[in-house]
Amino acid sequence: MTPSQSSSSELVCCLCEEEEAVVVYSGETGAATPQVFRDCNAAARGGGFLCLHDRYFVAPHRAKPALIVHEWGRETPAHTCYVAERVACLSADASGTYVVGGSPSGAVYLWLVETGEFLCSWKAHYRAVTHVTFLEGELVLLSAGEDALIHAWNLVDVLCQSSGGDAKPVATWSEHSLPVTSLSCGKTGGPGALFLSSSLDHSCRVWQLGAKLSLLTVSCPSPVLCCCLDALEQYAYAGGKDGNIFEKCLTEVSRSGGGGAASSSQVSGGLGESVTKTFKGHTKAVTSVRCAGNGKTLISSSEDGLVYFWNRASGERVRSISRETPITFASVLVLNDQGGGPLSSLSERRAQRAARPSLQPFKKYKSVSGEEEQLVAVTALPDRSVEGMLESIGGSQPASGASESAVPREASRGSEEEASRLNHKLREELEMAREELQKKEDRLHAVEGQLLDLLQAKNTLM
């Protein structure tokens, strides 16, 4: 294959927590590739892993507030980027311009990929964020959380805010009664875009961006931990806590031809529909489920340590992946071989590395270059201002210049000490105010959490 040619490869990235490694397999044959990412103690679930610019593999650290960046073709990490807090789930937009991470505190963090710049963060959920994903071809971010809510965020509105803290969702859906565990978006964008959600309340729901209510609810026999839509948006798949995978045909869901919002009356069969097929084989909870690009295969992983390839039409297993150490999570990535992936030749990888700039580490704090410049100007001011003041005084120099100049120097030192004391006092007061505000926010979140617990308990009893 010449450098001008390119082909896409579907890869299954399998996380082995005991080895602290991600092993890559072919999505077509299930055969192991030479690529292994070592020292990758990644977090499972929550959207899986990222492939940026067909060259970098990015995953959140399972226990530390860090993002692990690997380069395809190499085993050891290129960067370990420490961030403000631990990230539970990751997503990137279709162009690879922005990376978004959701945290256990309910905050969402946004980075610019080109420079690694931390742009902003905002409080998206009252509880932990469980999944973040972008709508196909849109700068619309979907987030789900343990507070049983799903939010849609316009990234343009978020970036227009000074810090992101005042960001408001453009839409919110609250029909789930227990934590939302996963999201999956269709391949069409715009107001008619479909997406799927799964929850511990034994249900999967089909939503439309322009509709206020869910279009379809699928009742499952088990709490649902993961879900996915096929490429044609005709079937939904849900991975259950009991080890089964449930299929539901969505051809009854109709959307208005002009991309307008669909109503629940347009869904035949009503709410609470049962599954149409069950894939049985896993013995423990299903951790991920994905449709392969060929449209015929379903790929799933489970806490039993196995990855299965299923025939979607018959529901039978066609192959499996197993290792001496259990595989706890699998994510399907599509990679352009010309980008320097594991199936590219050494010369092609070198050519691509030379042609593209290296990925910059993701930063922990937001850049405040203007404030830094101002601080430097202020610290350089006192001595020069005193000298300039003395030079500007009219009249002849005093006879005892040395003794006379000692007075203003002593005065300047006194003023500096006074300014330093005031500055220290202001910093202490500001820190106390921040601590008090944090305590109030913690109390508010605790009350909100209690209310959510009561509502979820009530819905469970009902």
Q: DSSP secondary structure string, 73-120?
A: T-SS-SEEEE-SS---EEEE-TTS-EEEEE-TTSEEEEEETTT--EEE
Mean pLDDT of the chain: 80
201 contacts: CB under 8 Å, gap ≥ 6: 148, 176, 177, 178, 223, 459, 460
Q: Is the pLDDT of residue 113 over 90?
A: yes
Q: Is the pLDDT of residue 262 over 50?
A: no
Query: What would the pLDDT profile of 156-186 be if each residue is shown by its tens digit?
Result: 888 887 555 578 999 999 999 999 999 999 8
Proportion of the chain in helix, strand, coil states, percent, rounded to 5: 25, 35, 45
Q: Cα–Cα distance between 146 and 180 in angstroms, integer?
A: 6
Percent of the chain whose pLDDT exceeds 70: 76
Q: Cα–Cα distance between 126 and 452 in angstroms, integer?
A: 9
68 contacts: CB under 8 Å, gap ≥ 6: 39, 40, 41, 42, 58, 59, 60, 61, 77, 79, 80, 81
Query: What would the pLDDT profile of 283-311 be if each residue is shown by its tens digit?
Result: 999 999 999 888 899 999 999 999 999 99
Q: Is the pLDDT of residue 354 over 70?
A: no
The predicted model gives 371-389 an average pLDDT of 41
Residue 102 near residue 88, CB atoms below 8 Å? yes
Residue 429 confidence (pLDDT): 81
Residue 389 confidence (pLDDT): 42
**Which tops the pLDDT comparison, 137 or 155?**
155
Q: Is the pLDDT of residue 377 over 50?
A: no
Residue 388: phi, psi to the nearest 5? -65, -35
Q: Is the pLDDT of residue 419 over 60?
A: yes
198 — pLDDT class (breaks 50, 70, 90):
very high
Give how far the C-alpha of residue 192 lies from the chain's centroid of Cα atoms, to the nearest Å.
24
Range name among 205-214, 239-248, 360-369 with the lowest pLDDT average = 360-369
Kindly give the pairing relationship between strand 56-60 and strand 50-52: antiparallel
Q: Is the pLDDT of residue 325 over 70?
A: yes
Range name among 221-230, 271-280, 358-367 with the lowest pLDDT average = 271-280
If we measure between CA atoms, which residue out of 66, 286, 234, 46 comes closest to residue 142? 46
Give how far the C-alpha of residue 347 lies from the chain's centroid of Cα atoms, to the nearest Å.
33
CATH number of 8-355: 2.130.10.10
DSSP secondary structure letters along 352-383: HHHHSPPPPPPPSS---HHHHHHHHHHHTHHH
Contacts 24+ apart (CB under 8 A), 294-298: 294/28, 295/230, 295/231, 295/232, 298/237, 298/245
CB atoms closer than 10 angstroms to residue 34: 9
350 — pLDDT class (breaks 50, 70, 90):
low
Residue 439 confidence (pLDDT): 80
The predicted model gives 343-351 an average pLDDT of 54
Q: Cα–Cα distance between 11 and 395 in angstroms, integer?
A: 84
Quote the pTM value: 0.75
Residue 257 confidence (pLDDT): 39
Residue 372 confidence (pLDDT): 40
Query: What would the pLDDT profile of 20-37 be if each residue is shown by its tens digit?
Result: 899 999 988 889 899 999
Which residues, in sequence order, are bridge partners of residue 195? 185, 207
266 — pLDDT class (breaks 50, 70, 90):
very low
432 — pLDDT class (breaks 50, 70, 90):
confident
Give how far the C-alpha of residue 189 lies from the chain's centroid of Cα atoms, to the nearest Å.
19
**Which tops the pLDDT comparison, 460 or 89?**
89
Residue 441 confidence (pLDDT): 72
Two tokens at 62? 């399972």
462 — pLDDT class (breaks 50, 70, 90):
low
- Provide the residue ranges of all domains of the chain, joining segments of one domain with +: 8-355
The predicted model gives 452-460 an average pLDDT of 71
Q: Cα–Cα distance between 314 and 372 in angstroms, integer?
A: 64
Type of residue at 306? L
